[in-house]
Structure 1
């Protein structure tokens, strides 16, 4: 399974079981950047990287705010004008949730990408 998809499904499964903590492995820099975006928008609490000698893992504090999340496969390229289209496909309502994408400015949410005037590839969605 792809690591980003694995992270999203692990977070969602632990949220649905009302757990307060989630451990995701193997860890990667991209996963850390996605978690940083989720933390900025209040979907997860603190997270830390734990080096276990086998690729590492993330320990994530859950806040109970994730209703659904998932990765977008294949990684569709998106311009600023297409955020509305992808939002309709993956998010429940206009101002609910975020699309996470990788841009030349880093891994950011679609709201920040629209303000920065940057397009990129969709990684996932959270609401």
Structure 2
């Protein structure tokens, strides 16, 4: 199981870089969503096909980042209920959802009227 505690620690301590071990394609897609929302500036995978590590440059916006170990299924009409339950405020943060179109945040999934599995969240 990949833990993103190094991102939380770096954000709390005011650091700009963090290292995530081990790397996986799912974590890379999670980081792509974070980059699209402006919480991560850049990231790079090291180690090729072996479980290496990912170097991440974070921004000052990041407060907390969690990759859930249990994936919760949700329908598109229940996404707002999950967001109210997990996120600290209505317009703060993003749920990361995976479905057959890929990995996206909850606002994009709601706009496309898609459900999926909740991977995690960040704010």
Q: TM-score normalised to the size of structure 1?
A: 0.90
Runs in 1 of length 4+ with deviation above 4 angstroms? none
| Cα root mean square deviation, aligned | 1.4
Structure 2: gaps spanning 5 or more residues: none
Structure with the larger strand share: 2
Aligned length: 123
Consecutive unaligned residues of structure 1, counting only runs of 5 or more, are none
Distance across 1 between alignment mates of 2:16 and 2:61? 11
Once the two structures are TM-superposed, the CA of residue 74 in structure 1 deviates from its matched residue by 1.9
Structure 1 pair 57–84 and aligned structure 2 pair: CA distance change class (3 A) = same
Instruction: Kindly indicate whether residue 95 of structure 2 is the aligned counterpart of residue 87 of structure 1.
Output: no
Q: Is the 8 A contact 1:105 1:118 kept in 2?
A: no
- Which runs of structure 2 are paired with 1:96-115 in the superposition (5 Å)? 96-115=92-111
C-alpha spacing 1:36/1:53, structure 2 compared with 1 (3 Å): closer
The partner residue of 1:61 within 48, 53, 57 is 57
